[in-house]
Chains A and B, each alone.
Chain A
């Protein structure tokens, strides 16, 4: 149990970190699309190999993701459909296919198909030793890469034109960021499920934005929020036996978002109200008096002219 908790926490940490860059590059929804598109890949991998090896699932999910990316590109290039609608079309059609395949697998007498539907909402409790190990190692690699390439990722996300000008291989870094997001999504599917894994990429990053105006701090806060969400999901799903991990992780992340929205020290609603009130007291006092006087004069003039 300890190891499942640790690996889910690490997953949340790495998703929160990479999610910051996806969010700032406005690619968060791509993570969701890739997660949903992975389902048919996983099913086909199972149907072809007959095993529940995480490696084959990752390959299947990765290939499905590549197919989805091509599909989106094809639609946007050969029709007037814009990127967001293209993503919606690909996401839903791939996912629909995945559900059909899943149903076929369940009734197909493959032998060990039990548990494949856990990939929809995730079941951390059903992870075996090797899954846990892979999840932990991959998450740590993600965090390490982001640490060492932080300034490159920062510049490429902020001003790719300038980055190219000083000689950065911008296309490489952009692909790398996308690749890291895909890895976080695919590896997280077994713990959190296809449907909701994107929330670990999106919500902690968005929440962190309310607490700071500095990218370095945002990445750390987002990682912490992601780690808490992952841990909460793992703990909750181990206590009540059949509770899936995904929804509980999402609820934890959303609760943190709600708190950030209200109490965030830089952009939270309450903080903004306090700042506004303080400014009103120091600056707006005179204006409000003038405004009150003006309306009284208007009224007097109106009455006089009648």
Chain B
């Protein structure tokens, strides 16, 4: 078996025939008797940024939630580094959509980030000085150190997203799932997020991102997963992010699609 090449010498993950960070086989899910995910199978290579692309209702968020066991699945297996996901929770980090949370909850940014350490604390453990220090460090990494004691309802959308990201960093995982982290954030936050993702990649970690903006896919992601209820294609961006496959994914509903003008054209989604 060949050695797994990693991005940086600092990574500790060079080993013989290591299991890939994520293997999904035959994942299916339904919502109120309507199938939203059908037989999705793919294997992710370590140390990559993977973009999950597809039209609305394609099952992108569903796939992520079904893989993590957040919603029930009809069928399918999920292996994280070769073992069933349930045994590997400590290796997986999750950044959910911003709308999934009531931001009027009485808590501040630091508190939310410390929640990322709960998985390491056990039943009766309480977060202490060590967890606080880690949380502050993670807030600093996303540029939010000054907002540690800010009530979360007073944060802007971009700042809330960064707090969620800091929480995921605090989890200290090797594989990250992120659900639309770039949705509705300002340009500065978007830049901060992608810089952070690239740092994670440098450390040999793997990040899977549900993404909606076709214009930035080639710039951000090493591999792409095209999804529309079924898997359309999975592979390196340059091989898979083609006009033909995109037309297939979006069902011919793209108004105008040209490699050069992707950045300038509005993509019409049915």
Contact = CB atoms under 8 A, between A and B. Distances in A.
Interface stretch (A32-40, A68-76, A164-172): A164-172
Interface string B108-125: 100110010011010010
Given A158-B115, A213-B151, A214-B107, A165 B70 contact: yes
B106 A213 contact: yes
A158 B115 CA distance: 10
Interface string A162-184: 10111110000000000000000
A148 interface: yes
Interface string A208-235: 0100111100100000000000000000
Contact of A213 (B94, B108, B118): B108
Nearest to A213: B151
Interface stretch (B40-48, B97-105, B190-198): B97-105
B105 A157 contact: yes
Contact of B127 (A151, A157, A212): A151
B92 interface: yes
A215 B104 CA distance: 11
B107 A159 contact: no
A165 B151 contact: no
A64 B70 CA distance: 32
B68 interface: yes
Nearest to B93: A165
Interface string A140-158: 0000000010110011011
A167 B70 CA distance: 10
Contact of B119 (A24, A154, A166): A166
Given A151-B126, A151-B127, A161-B100, A214 B115 contact: no
Given A162-B94, A166-B171, A155 B106 contact: no
Contacts of B100: 159, 161
A158 B101 CA distance: 7
Interface string B154-171: 000000000000010001
Contacts of A215: 105-107, 111
Given A166-B118, A166-B119, A161 B96 contact: yes
Contacts of A161: 65, 70, 94, 96, 100
Q: For the side of the interface on A, what is the size category?
A: 20 to 34
A166 B89 contact: yes
A166 B91 CA distance: 10
Contact of B89 (A150, A165, A212, A218): A165
Given A151-B126, A158-B115, A165 B92 contact: yes
B252 interface: no
B57 interface: no
Contacts of B112: 158
Most A Cβ at <10 Å: residue of B92, B119, B151: B119
Contacts of B68: 164-165
Interface of B: 65, 68-70, 86, 89, 92, 94, 96, 100-102, 105-108, 111-112, 115, 118-119, 121, 124, 126-127, 151, 167, 171
24 contacts: A24-B106, A148-B124, A151-B118, A154-B115, A155-B118, A157-B105, A158-B107, A159-B101, A159-B115, A161-B65, A161-B94, A161-B96, A162-B94, A162-B115, A164-B68, A165-B70, A165-B89, A165-B94, A166-B118, A167-B86, A212-B106, A213-B106, A213-B151, A215-B111
Interface of A: 24, 148, 150-151, 154-155, 157-159, 161-162, 164-168, 209, 212-215, 218
Given A151-B118, A158-B105, A165-B94, 4 more contacts: A162-B115, A166-B119, A168-B118, A213-B108
Q: 9 smallest A-B Cβ distances: which pairs? A: A166-B119, A165-B94, A213-B151, A167-B89, A215-B106, A161-B96, A158-B105, A213-B106, A159-B101
